[in-house]
Chain A
């Protein structure tokens, strides 16, 4: 009897280890395994181990290769920016819709909403499931001339534009600027050596990629979030059971404060004098400009690419109107 009890006990001790499900994940971080995102994902993976999932992480410094390896079946999951995630889930891939989340408070509301069990069905598309979303920082416009402080001033300017980001290409064309196709590894060099006039990026790049060199004495950073970049973890649908997938999203949401502390420190590293403040009246105009473009990119109108999810745009609109009920868009006929 005692022997039997001991056997049961030892099984119970071994059980968590033995039943741990192994999941390989390709993780994109511009500076690989010693990067901030990779370290955040390590924390997430450790937390998930308590729920019986054993993630094996592999660092990638090229996001395209990370997603390519995921597509080729070399990893069960991938952690990448939402622009690359769009093909797997248009709904969450539309979080970075242009100008759709003007504040981090709005972003917090959105991510808390999406972490709820009720949102689970929206996390699945085309045989893939989103397992978590963490913020990576707002994208700002870096300019080499402070007089480029209105959309009109962008006309004729050269903009380093990610060549796989259809909505950004559309926006650059919309303001009659010139698209200079770029990628994450070379946009900073182009801005710093003057081969483009403007570039857009989260605050992270200001110091790490020395964007202050491109800003020089005359330039600055437009203090208005063009988009909210997030890092999303996506897996093939069958990798995790629904209940575990939901737990994973809740775990990822738990890292929101840690991610925001990182972003805050990156934005704080930018000297105050570098920011170009935009008058409130101009901001109202830009919000409408972005909104109209989002509608076009939702419906594929006027030559715009059809890239945004109507459901996500609708949710983002609700969040904006909850935090700013007086905005004209909240009573517009063509609300998102």
Chain B
């Protein structure tokens, strides 16, 4: 068997095909950017949205998810230099990156509370300063995530009258909703940083309006929980004859349990801390912990439930550290003190042994 190359006629038609394909790519992509970059950008962007995001939302490890956000966001979003900005995935990645920074801020905050408990003022001041800086960075990331989420759906939060975006998938709706929540969180982080990040405070009132664009039942009461939080922050935004915000938060938490993710519990905990309601804080932490026995966490949004768990655990840890100098001991999540009810525990007489 001998190898024979293509005939001169075949070679010529092959070259023509390559030239034609190259010209087509060149025409379609313009001449300023390497066409491979653009193709890669489009592929990565589509892959992130259709495969990576659903996969990450099913994860049960928020720390790993946040590391993904920090590591991948600069790469994915750098493709906004060559193709349309991947704002939908970019919003979620930046949200995860914000969570990473917040976990560090939380640790510093617990260091501050522990040092304060121990009466070590210089250590407490140092830890508080670290916490402020990390909260500032968290606020910046979250504000960016919020802006990307709004841009992803061409939504202008300042527009009046407001025009809701059209969502093609549930994932779109969730990305938009989480974007609004992240904007609200950015305000909290900024306040805890001593307003170093300069996050606009009008996000709260705008989120209250924009959250009407998503379905409350479908998203475990989270939209109404966000609204109730804003009503507490800015009483003017609360519609006349509406339910008491604390009642709305309670109902939302209940709905979250039925829907299989407890994001509304996290909002309720933040509200309890913000407005000085230790009773609500204790009952929400307890309700979250008790639900571990009953809840069927929804597989598609396992990460949302886990991130909510981190928020509630941190609130519990803050309480324990401020009052006892350490985080919530294992086995005590859901309780606000180490007291145990031992009144019904039987004891044996030691007479005869002593």
Contact = CB atoms under 8 A, between A and B. Distances in A.
A binds B: yes
Nearest to A51: B121
Give the top 9 A-B pairs by smallest Cβ distance, nearest first: A189-B236, A208-B201, A17-B119, A32-B274, A59-B276, A50-B121, A185-B235, A34-B188, A32-B275
A33 B273 contact: yes
A332 to B, nearest CB: 41
A265 interface: yes
Contact of A31 (B124, B236, B274): B274
Interface string B194-206: 1100101110110
Contacts of A33: 273-276
Nearest to A186: B236
Nearest to A187: B236
A20 interface: yes
A25 to B, nearest CB: 12
9 contacts: A34-B270, A42-B128, A46-B128, A50-B121, A189-B236, A209-B234, A213-B160, A262-B195, A265-B195
Most buried by A among B118, B121, B160, B187: B121
A299 to B, nearest CB: 37
A261 B193 CA distance: 13
A46 B116 contact: yes
A259 to B, nearest CB: 10
A59 B275 CA distance: 6
Interface residues of A, number: 38
Interface in B261-306: 270, 273-276
Given A34-B274, A39-B191, A46-B124, 10 more contacts: A31-B233, A31-B274, A33-B274, A46-B128, A185-B236, A188-B234, A188-B236, A189-B236, A265-B198, A269-B200
Contacts of B234: 188, 208-209
Interface in B330-346: none
Contacts of B121: 46-47, 49-50
Interface of A: 16-17, 20, 31-36, 38-40, 42-43, 46-47, 49-50, 58-61, 185-186, 188-189, 192, 204, 207-210, 213, 258, 261-262, 265, 269
Q: Is the interface of A mostly helix, strand, loop or mixed?
A: helix
B208 to A, nearest CB: 11
A73 B160 CA distance: 47
Interface string B164-187: 000000000000000000000001
B104 interface: no
Given A46-B116, A208-B204, A265-B195, A186 B235 contact: yes
A17 B117 CA distance: 9
Interface of B: 116, 118-119, 121, 124-125, 128, 160, 187-188, 191-192, 194-195, 198, 200-202, 204-205, 232-236, 270, 273-276
A42 B132 CA distance: 12
Contact of B192 (A16, A32, A34, A60): A34
B276 A35 contact: no
B116 A16 contact: no
B236 A207 contact: no
Contacts of B235: 185-186
A139 to B, nearest CB: 18
A188 B232 CA distance: 15
A261 B192 CA distance: 15
Contacts of A188: 234, 236
